[in-house]
Amino acid sequence: EIVLTQSPGTLSLSPGERATLSCRASQSVSSSNLAWYQQKPGQAPRLVIYSASSRATGIPDRFSGSGSGTDFTLTISRLEPEDFAVYYCQHYGSSLWTFGQGTKVDIK
């Protein structure tokens, strides 16, 4: 089973700053099967990035995803107030779905 490890656990930044979130897989995975979600308090997760680098419908272009193999990154180029949330990476493979433990982006 693939284990996804996200870092840091919490990222404290100010609006306008750049956020860089990491997701590391325990073994090499296909980029096609790596996604990122945003979750705000009391809400369901929302798909942000799929196939490692494709933005989901309605996601602004300040969000970008990159990476391959075992190391993947979600970047928010300039944080807007509505971007402060918890972000999860997710992998699908061998009929199993796994999530990272999440990175909280909070206001500094």
By C-beta, is 1 or 61 nearer to another protein? 1
Rule CB under 8 A: say whether 7 interacts with another protein: no
Rule CB under 8 A: say whether 26 interacts with another protein: no
Residue 11, token pair as written in the block:
């990222």
Residue 68, token pair as written in the block:
């391959």
Q: Which of 46, 55, 59, 73 binds another protein (CB under 8 A)?
A: 46
| Rg of the Cα atoms in the chain | 13
Length of the chain: 108
Within the chain, where are the H helices?
Answer: none
Rule CB under 8 A: say whether 92 interacts with another protein: yes
Other C-beta atoms lying within 10 Å of the C-beta of residue 96: 9
- Chain residues that interact with another protein, rule: CB under 8 A: 1, 32-35, 37, 43-47, 50-51, 56, 88, 90, 92, 95-102
